[in-house]
Chains A and B, each alone.
Chain A
Amino acid sequence: DAKTTQPNSMESNEEEPVHLPCNHSTISGTDYIHWYRQLPSQGPEYVIHGLTSNVNNRMASLAIAEDRKSSTLILHRATLRDAAVYYCILRRMNSGNTPLVFGKGTRLSVIA
């Protein structure tokens, strides 16, 4: 699997937008970009994924660079509950149940 690079940690004020970056310069044309997050004392949970176009769901937005070598997870209004470790993961298209390959992720702190 292609590798991703994320900052170790980031900090945000409550109710402000948060932009979490991820670099994946060796991404292949068939790799989807997935984001998972892990809240304290919980297992990881799926956030969002995309291939080329920007994606939105109730949790977040995913902005993908035109060359696909980087992406940004956007939390529009951070809450204290969003404090977690965020993982950016590449998965081959139609990979079915291939395992997730986690890096160390970005630890997001949210300040009230």
Chain B
Amino acid sequence: AQSVTQLDSHVSVSEGTPVLLRCNYSSSYSPSLFWYVQHPNKGLQLLLKYTSAATLVKGINGFEAEFKKSETSFHLTKPSAHMSDAAEYFCVVSAPYGGSQGNLIFGKGTKLSVKP
């Protein structure tokens, strides 16, 4: 069965400093992994996805994530935080090719605060 664990419920950074949001996954298949962002009163938006191609994945708004199979991790990073990055971030795992589950499994989310 697939699952994701987001290691921090809340991360606070200063504007211009690096961002690290941590995610560990568990999957009995070769996983597809995603990061989604949710701004207040807005729909979930895909930041980036990993689907067994390059292990370093670049997404929108300067975010990137590295798939590390040995550590079962898929941490999200950004070199320099911007005030507009303040939002809730979700790490998501999916079984490719359908498998026995065709759904997306969400982590509990990490709320990112950015201080001026």
Our verdict on whether A and B bind, yes or no, reads no
Give A residues with C-beta under 8 Å from B: none
Give B residues with C-beta under 8 Å from A: none
